[in-house]
Structure 1
């Protein structure tokens, strides 16, 4: 992990994210995307034929349109979107156009949540890098292993070593793709590693590390 940050303050809880989404328009937060790239590209590369009958989870999916894209395009029969912010989930649900009810909107804290099913894909854009305490990272990785089916795919996106040191007022941990692979451990096989520059609505540039890996 690059440049170990200070511990996150007590505000990094549900109340913090509730306040963020209550006081800032969704299209003005720094992580906003009109199209969920490179997530869609990475998913299609890892699962070129989709996953018929399969399921995916987008942890920290918030107001992202990723789940709606995956269901609309027939990539998965079921997608769970988990987020600590109820407001973010409400925003995404209002525009998802999911008449078949293929998307489950789950308001939960990832660090205390226990999966009630397994998934073929675990997608995380910018949750893992908020976990600055080793104990929280250990909880995250234990939940990932519990939730991801054998042979399943994990896609992790975090700030890269040259990326920001803080996001939304909270410190973050920054990772190279090799460091992300090391965090996952030996029971995951890396499939794709890349960096991406995200341009925020305010015009700033943020460099992300992206790792795709398959569970053995």
Structure 2
């Protein structure tokens, strides 16, 4: 995750179990379905922005994916994933960084973000994110976003969030990125609450 300070997110993962935070999913089914629908070879490259302790990387390793990167501002979150993966963690590139100031030195076939963009409430933050996104993708690259929907929570982890429908997300990333598909998800939190998410798949023109 990003936004707020690195200290904020470090504290979240130091004081809460990774499977107790509201965004936790035992199995990241919506992400996996979106990735499966792309029908890409397992040699394709994927970066999970704000991936933290998510098990998405575990499931992709099981499916034979070999070029995986996880970026998160909170080192403790990545440490949780590394410990869980054991020796398999060596198959992943782990980056501790704030995506709004980070610039990739390579292109990714798939850019996945279920955690970060809705925390960027200031226009300059979103512009900086877009610069990072454009630096890390090439024409044909696919971008998978999940953000809080208009009827989703107004705050998460003590921070305000920006909520989106598909049209609002499209406005953030057009014309460089073309919206190909969108849908909604009702996420159930570990505490039994419900959160509405907006999913969108874009392709870099």
Q: What TM-score do the two structures reach when normalised by structure 1?
A: 0.90
Aligned residue pairs, count: 203
How far 1:213 sits from its partner (Å)?
1.1
Which consecutive residues of structure 1, in runs of 5 or more, have no partner in the other structure?
A: 1-10
Tell me whether 1:60 sits opposite 2:57 in the alignment: no
- Compare the two structures and name the one with the higher strand fraction: 1
**Divergent runs of 4+, >6 A:** none
Q: Match of 1:168?
A: 157
Which consecutive residues of structure 2, in runs of 5 or more, have no partner in the other structure?
A: none
How far 1:150 sits from its partner (Å)?
1.6
Tell me whether 1:24 sits opposite 2:16 in the alignment: yes
Q: Match of 2:193?
A: 204
Q: Distance in 2 between matches of 1:98 and 1:213?
A: 33
How far 1:144 sits from its partner (Å)?
0.3
**SS of residue paired to 1:132:** coil
Q: Match of 2:166?
A: 177
**SS of residue paired to 1:149:** coil
Tell me whether 1:37 sits opposite 2:38 in the alignment: no
User: RMSD of aligned C-alpha atoms?
Assistant: 1.4
Matches within 5 A, 1:54-93: 54-74=44-64, 76-93=65-82
How far 1:57 sits from its partner (Å)?
0.3
How far 1:96 sits from its partner (Å)?
2.2
Q: What TM-score do the two structures reach when normalised by structure 2?
A: 0.95
How far 1:167 sits from its partner (Å)?
0.1
Q: Distance in 2 between matches of 1:166 and 1:184?
A: 23
Q: Match of 2:127?
A: 138
How far 1:36 sits from its partner (Å)?
0.8
